[in-house]
Amino acid sequence: MKTIREKEQLVTNEFDRFDDWMDKYNYLIELGKSLQPIDDTYKTEQFLIKGCQARVWLHADYRDGKVVFSADSDALITKGIVALLIRVLSDQPPQDIIDADMDFIDRIGLREHLSQTRSNGLLNMIRQMKLYALAFQKTKQ
């Protein structure tokens, strides 16, 4: 099983293949399309992440000591971004998720290419994922 660091490196390498930001967005769209659909019962107000211009639903399960995320969004680029986060953070121990500095987002230049609202949305997504990890960590203790 790859660590968060290793997965971050993988994503960074993939993004490095594209010079043009339109290609990077294209890639995000493809990622969005391929994201495992979330169970419809979780597409409710309760699982909605606040502060995103597009709607994003995020759910987390705790299985065998690891947090497994699933998500969906009504906007495809947003869905691609959330797919990216899931790829890096899902299926990891809670403590690792809590400790992840997520600086690959800056390395691939994603943050500077997002509008202010989308950037806030991204931060809210990460915060929510960490909160889930924190909650699972507490129940464990």
Partner 1 sequence: MATFTEKIRKQFPILHRTVNDNPLVYFDNAATTQKPERVLERLRNYYAQENSNIHRGAHYLSHKATEAYEKARGTFQSFINARHHHEIIFTRGATEAINLVAHSFCKKFLSAGDEILISAMEHHSNIVPWQIACNDHKATLKVIPINEQGELAPNAYEQMLGEKTKLVAITHVSNALGTINPVKEIIAAAHKKNIPVLIDGAQAAPHIPVNVQDLDCDFYCFSGHKMYGPMGAGVLYGKEEWLNQMPPYQSGGEMIKEVRFEETFFNELPYKFEAGTPNVADVLGMEEAVRFIRDTGPDAIARHEDDLLQYATDKLKKTEKVRLIGTATNKTSVLSFLFEDIHPYDAGTLLDKMGIAVRTGHHCAQPVMDFFQIPGTIRVSFAAYNTHEEIDALANALTRVRKMFE
Residue 34 lies near partner 1 (rule: CB under 8 A): no
Contact by Cβ (8 Å): 95, 19: no
- Which of 11-19, 87-95, 103-111, 112-120 is the region at the interface with partner 1 (rule: CB under 8 A)? 112-120
Binds partner 1 (CB under 8 A): choice among 12, 14, 18, 25 = 25
Q: What residue type is assigned to position 69 of the chain?
A: F
Residue 95 lies near partner 1 (rule: CB under 8 A): no
- Which of 6-14, 20-28, 95-103, 126-134 is the region at the interface with partner 1 (rule: CB under 8 A)? 20-28
Binds partner 1 (CB under 8 A): choice among 41, 46, 115, 141 = 115
Residue 54 lies near partner 1 (rule: CB under 8 A): yes
Rounded CA separation 36/71 (Å): 8
In the numeric block, which tokens belong to residue 130? 């960490």
In the numeric block, which tokens belong to residue 123? 């931060």
Contact by Cβ (8 Å): 21, 118: no
